[in-house]
Amino acid sequence: MIVEPNAPLQSHNSFGIVAKARELVRVRGEQDLRDVLADPERGPAPKFVLGGGSNIVLTGDVRPLVLKMEIPGIRVVEDGPRATLVEAGAGVPWHDFVTWTLDHGHPGLENLALIPGSVGASPVQNVGAYGVEVQDRFESLDAMDLVTGRVFTLDAAQCAFGYRDSVFKHAPAQEGDFGLAGRAVILRVRFRLPKPWKPELGYLDLQRKMAESGVAQPTARDIYDWVCAIRSAKLPDPKVIGNAGSFFKNPTVSPEQCADIIAREPNIVHYPMPDGSVKLAAGWLIDACGWKGKTVGHAGVYEKQALVLVNRGGATGGEVVTLAKAIQTSVYERFGIRLEPEPVVV
């Protein structure tokens, strides 16, 4: 077990916020976790599970014991006539995993290319992009209970996936409650990649790429390349400008609420959902309130995409949270809609 006291976290969070972990343990296998749990001091101590740090805002030094997930490994569990089952360790970088599956002839995750972070975190907020969510390809995962040390397996229903949501985002208020946040650490995840492969081209950006390229029947590799190109053009690279991707979830309203808003704001961007509700583009709401390109302290709103908050250099987590709150207030005052943040504030 590798333990690092006073570990700097700036390179472990995509916002690039300066903070330290009082103690960081590199988790390279299940045994490292067992050693932590067996330790008389570390065992009962509060813990924070860290993947790639691309969906967190650090508001100060982290007092709980940081478990930095570095469990490696990718393997094909089963290659059947109707699907390939692939498993990856929690510490495998997500994009490397997507690339590996394509390189090895197992398409199905190409729409999720270039999402930062780790495989272990991908079920936590049910990552999604360009018409595909992790839940669409998910088979099961193994996790360890951080109190008892018991390893257990969850299927998709048990993960309770929702839009940027799962059982891992909810903390149990009392024993027996729904919710595994802070209680379980994901060790490895299995994905079911269906055969025959079918392209997912529902998103306008992908349709544009298809038209531009003149490719009528794209391969999974074409879609992967297009997704990488679209994302690189739209989103700031965290290595250059600190950020955590989309800072707010797209809110969902009833058709009546939507009609009421359209009467006042005819240009509002909205998407009818299969369940009858209407999804609004959070980026549009923020832009309409005049936030795009603004700076408050050392934090700001990205010039090209109002949904992305950025570190202009030297931002603290407090400054990011203050900016996020100011945005929430103005969107609420103008539209009556409460924006919900996507990243976890630590």
Ligand X SMILES: Cc1cc2nc3c(=O)[nH]c(=O)nc-3n(C[C@H](O)[C@H](O)[C@H](O)COP(=O)(O)OP(=O)(O)OC[C@H]3O[C@@H](n4cnc5c(N)ncnc54)[C@H](O)[C@@H]3O)c2cc1C
Contact residues: ligand X, CB under 6 A: 14, 48-56, 69, 90, 115-118, 120-122, 124-125, 127-129, 168, 185-186, 235, 238, 243-245, 344
- How far from the centroid of its chain's Cα atoms is residue 170's Cα? 15
- Assign 36 to helix, strand or coil: helix
323 touches 232 (CB < 8 A): no
Q: How far is the CB of 277 from ligand X (least distance, A)?
A: 20
**Strand segments (E) across 104-208:** 128-129, 132-133, 138-145, 151-155, 184-194
The residue annotated as part of the active site, out of 70, 87, 118, 164, is: 164
Q: Which residue, 143 or 261, is less far from ligand X as judged by CB?
A: 143
Within 10 A of 173 (CB to CB), how many other CB atoms are there?
Answer: 9
Q: How far is the CB of 133 from ligand X (least distance, A)?
A: 8
Within 10 A of 295 (CB to CB), how many other CB atoms are there?
Answer: 13
- Assign 74 to helix, strand or coil: strand
> For residue 169, what are its two tokens?
């985002």
Q: How far is the CB of 83 from ligand X (least distance, A)?
A: 23
Q: DSSP string spanning 7-19? A: EE-GGGSTT----
212 touches 218 (CB < 8 A): no
**Strand segments (E) across the chain:** 2-8, 20-27, 47-50, 56-57, 65-69, 74-79, 83-89, 128-129, 132-133, 138-145, 151-155, 184-194, 242-246, 252-253, 270-272, 278-280, 295-296, 299-301, 308-311, 344-345
The residue annotated as part of the active site, out of 70, 87, 319, 342, is: 342
Q: How far is the CB of 168 from ligand X (least distance, A)?
A: 6
320 touches 311 (CB < 8 A): yes
Q: How far is the CB of 71 from ligand X (least distance, A)?
A: 8
Q: Which residue, 111 or 316, is less far from ligand X as judged by CB?
A: 111
Q: How far is the CB of 153 from ligand X (least distance, A)?
A: 14
* Active site annotation includes 82: no
* Integer Cα distance of 279 and 124 in angstroms: 21
Q: Which residue, 95 or 294, is less far from ligand X as judged by CB?
A: 95
* Active site annotation includes 164: yes
The residue annotated as part of the active site, out of 23, 192, 246, 319, is: 246
Could you list the active site residues?
164, 246, 342
